[in-house]
Structure 1
Amino acid sequence: MVDLIKYFLTNRELAVKNIEDSNNVDLRICINSKTGEILDKRTAYYKNMFIEITENRATLKGSIHKYFNVIEDYGEQNFNDFSYCDFKYAINNLQNTFHINDEETHITNLEFGLNIDIDINPQKLIDNYILMYDFKPPNRNEKFYGKGDYLEFKTTDYSLKIYNKSKQNSLKNRNILRVELKITGARYLKKHFSIYSLNDLDKNRFKRLFEKLLEHFDKLLIVDALSIKNLNRIDEMILFQNGISSSYWKELKNAESYKFRSRCKEDFHKVLKKHNLLKTKTMLKVQLKFKYKELMNCDCAIFKNVA
């Protein structure tokens, strides 16, 4: 569900006063280390949330999932289940701490994703079988010094992220895969979800965020194997071997017409379906849907601004 979130407070003066008056936050000034000049910028952490105050803006940023776990004494982590009601509770708690109205916020970034337990080792899946997004390779493919396996397919306003959540948190008895839509452009939030403030993050917006996550997930190329056994047709074998290579699609894009590329993609998907190489992707999508339904199935009417 929603994890990292970044928003600024539209009534800066009131927000700054409330933050300054809070006994929970120790705001720090920033000084130019070379000149000793005091900069018009202050920073602080409240729990795990980062606060930044500049001349024009007061901003809060951090993992609202971790914030919930911190205030509930579950530890500063985000691998456990985090329901829609948990999100509402955490946001209300954070806003009430600083006496800030949800409508007096403007969201610029957020991450929406799900942690799912799978039968296969996420490392094996990420390293071998999640190959492309929209027939393009990942922009980032990292190991985090052995602490995690991570793929990111990045565009201008958003990224699709897939990573090994269990390895990231050293959970040896679980296989947790996280699939996440990271939105880095406020215009994307406005255009696709009509999300402006915290008040807009209702059940309807969560549904639209999830549908968009699935839309991007559908563009992933996830295969069950990198070779086809007992394949007698040479044309299918060549098409499959070409199709699992991102360089093939890049060269095709540069050299051939759109109509021809579309036909090649259709033929490639027919080969995958014919030889039952999409079982893992189908399974993952089913689990994403199940987890989303489970986390949305809660009653949080006791919280304000809940739709």
Structure 2
Amino acid sequence: MSDVLVTENIQGASMIELMKDLDVEFDAYLWQNVNLLKQKLADAQALIVRNQTKVNQELIDAAPNLKIIARAGAGLDNVDTAYAKEKGIVVSYTPDANSLSVAELTLGLMLALLRKIPDARQDTLTGGWNRVKFTGTELNGKTLGLIGMGRIGTLTATRARAFGMKIIAADPYLAADAPHLKELNGKLVSLDELLAQADVITCHSPLTPDTRGMLTYQHFSKMKPTACFINTSRGEVVDERGLTQALLEHKLAGAALDVREMEPPHQSALNQLENVILTPHIAAFTLEAQERVVDAVCEDVRLVLSGKPAVNVFQS
């Protein structure tokens, strides 16, 4: 049995160095075999995961020697942080390492939707040259509504301002006079106001019991019929049936989803809609972001196993 167990595809120079220096077992698909994973956890002191490994009470109980759970990413909805704390296990994560990459993909999806880039590409590849058919919409002068304005939302808004967009945000934890909102000439509004006013809505909400399924058909029906919705946060915050129904009824003009209610998702009506862009949870997958993430988790594992405090500790 190994001291460090890596249960998903987490690669990089820091991981290679970690494997040279410590007893590391790397199995990118181990998360799929829970029984085998529990067996291998019997002697493990460190567990490194992404978002597929469900580090629940059962898994933690199978690891009596575990000192650290290192999550290569920002969200901790797949880790029972309360139980880990009760067991004296450090939970480390990387909340800021991939923020810029997520913000950039959000802008990319925004441009792809409003300028109809995927459809124009596909039509051209099949011999078309239909310029008028793919007449798009500018970002300049449009209102961006951000559901959640933490670090990723702020980075997205900053870049949207460079395109000449107006900024509004709905966030229960944000003060109306928050400095970063004022710097962007942004305005704090209610969710209903945001849905009614925004031309583009981007979701940057963490997954919590309060946010699970929070965006329903009723919410999407309040959007402008010319508006678009983009989600690069967590798929479970969106009721996909409700979104699909709203799209079919032309309550909104289009949607782009990098995250889904179930990952990988089943085939659904969303796959058949021409005004929907679907990507496989790639927001954090840039070379730069992954290097930062892997560096951070490997460093925290090294620190904890050498008896020192981790840097990126989750504080519940």
Shorter-chain TM-score above 0.5: no
Q: Which has the higher strand share?
A: 1
TM-score, length of structure 1 as denominator length: 0.24
